Amino acid sequence: MNVLITNTLIIPMTGAGLTVRGDIGISGERIAFVGRRDASFVADKIIDGSNHLTMPALVNAHTHLAMVLMRNYKDNLPTLQEWLGEIFPIEDKLTPEDVYSACRLAIAESIQSGVTTLCDMYFHTSATIQAVTEGGVRANLGLTLFGDETVSRARIKEHEAALKAGHAHSSGRITLSAAPHAIYTCTAGTYHLARAWALENDAVLHTHISETRKEVEECIAEHGTTPLMYLKRIGALDGVKCLFAHGVHLSDEETALLAELDAAVVHNPSSNLKLDCGIAPIASYKERGLSISLGTDGASSNNNLNMFEEMHIAALLGRLGGHLSPYEVLKMATIDGARSLGLEERIGTLEAGKEADLIMINLTRAHLNPHNDPFSLLVYSAQASDVDTVFCQGKILMENRNLVHYDIDALVEDVNARWAAVLSR
């Protein structure tokens, strides 16, 4: 199908400060043109974009989709460690059916906030693959690992066929990562297996790193060095593309190493504040050449999957002793997020030939006017509910706030019933 969006304010994310007033053509899965209309383009569907800003869809580069089940559950505990002590036991009770239901709600929530790409680390992979496939979004799905090499070998054997099949049948919408949870839950042997699996499967190595000072101090006490230097020393990072969630407490030696690696740090400011982990010095990291993307983390430590809220908080924190501009924050949530997952040639900007992942934002809302600077508008003023229409790979997932694949009332009822059942187990 050919779709024409007319006379819209375009933020292509191809250059700082660049805006265009014009048309966008979508032909099948791809963007046909941006700005000036191709005279030969015949539209099957025309969308009036005159009251809208159109930009690349957002990339949530670190989350745990099914944790929407634990939203507002066991909040306000003093530390990450105490929170995990409450969360891990309840996660052990979840079934694939619970995860499938939760992922459907999480995907619907994500689409409603303009996200079409999710990077997920969780359990019951087949259930997540099914939800992502049906939801029409894009996801990097982790082969999540905990524990020692023996446990990890068994987990790989159990899940890799489903992951590979999900990837093969997704029209490129599902990509993969090897996802050892963290250095305090996984052995060196597990990291070695994860690296090997990532290299074999053209996947990313996705792990939590230096989220808390306690993690760093315990690593120094046990291994004589900081977490990232420990992973480097054991050879876990050799030759593999890496995605490091959090990176709140990185040393100068570690930031210098990261600038050399094919790696990105995912900033999760809401989660870091809520779990009292600290504030990652993102402006400083960027000055030192690190690639930074943005994520919500799971809804249990956020407590939503709203990337507009995440951009807002990142922008505000970036003002503390730094110079993080609204454009830089938008890059983290679009093209830099795509790059961190190896998708920068396919999505993240609005350019002819790229896959059509884009969102339209309603500019007629009171809190968006007058709209002097569209980049400031997006990170400081816009709300997720301003996203009207969402395309992923050329297909409409939401139009005028109506979700194509989901009945929200039914999803909410199903998730609440499942959560009640989990609590009674």
Binding footprint of Zn ion on the chain (CB under 5 A): 297
Name the residue nearer to Zn ion (CB basis): 215 or 297. 297
CA terminus-to-terminus distance, the chain: 48
- Residue 63 CB, shortest distance to Zn ion, in Å, is 7
Q: Which amino acid is at 147?
A: G
Name the residue nearer to Zn ion (CB basis): 8 or 302: 302
Joined tokens for residue 272: 């870091």
Element (H, E) at 8: strand 2-10
Nearest approach, Cβ of residue 50 and Zn ion (Å) = 40
Q: What angle do CA 255, 260, 264 make, to 5 degrees?
A: 65
Tokens representing 342 are 């190896």
Q: Which residue, 255 or 270, is less far from Zn ion as judged by CB?
A: 270
Bridge partners, residue 208, by sequence? 245
Angle subtended at Cα 303 by Cα 298 and Cα 309, rounded to the nearest 5 degrees? 100
How far apart are CB 153 and Zn ion at their closest, in Å?
Answer: 24
Closest approach of Zn ion to the CB of residue 243, in Å: 11
> Which residue number has the CB closest to Zn ion?
297
Cα 408 from Cα 414, distance rounded (Å) = 10
To the nearest whole angstrom, how small is the minimum distance from the Cβ of residue 3 to Zn ion?
35
Q: Which is nearer to Zn ion, 25 or 142 (CB)?
A: 142
Rounded Cα gap, residues 261 and 126, in angstroms: 31
Least distance between Zn ion and beta carbon 182 (Å)? 9
**Residue 267 Cβ, how far from Zn ion at the closest point, in Å?**
12
Structure tokens belonging to residue 113: 């906030």
Q: Is 52 helix (H, G, I), strand (E, B) or coil?
A: strand
Would you say 243 or 368 has its CB closer to Zn ion? 243
Nearest partner of 294 among 315, 275, 278, judged by Cα: 315
Cα–Cα distance, 297 to 308 (Å, whole number): 14
- Spatial neighbors of 97 by CB under 8 A, at least 6 apart, are 127, 418
The two beta strands, 358-362 and 52-56, are antiparallel
Round to whole Å and give the CA distance between 343 and 337. 8
Residue nearer to Zn ion on the CB measure, 297 or 309? 297
Minimum distance from CB of 273 to Zn ion (Å)?
Answer: 14
Rounded Cα distance, 368 and 374, in Å: 9
Question: 65 by DSSP, 3-state: which?
Answer: helix
CA distance 311 to 334: 11
Residue closer to Zn ion, measured from CB, 117 or 393: 117
Report the nearest approach of Zn ion to the CB of residue 181 (Å). Answer: 8
Residue 136 vs 295, nearer CB to Zn ion: 295
Tokens in use for 303? 């407590």
Q: Decide whether 62 or 138 has the Cβ nearer to Zn ion.
A: 62
Structural tokens at position 169:
């049948």
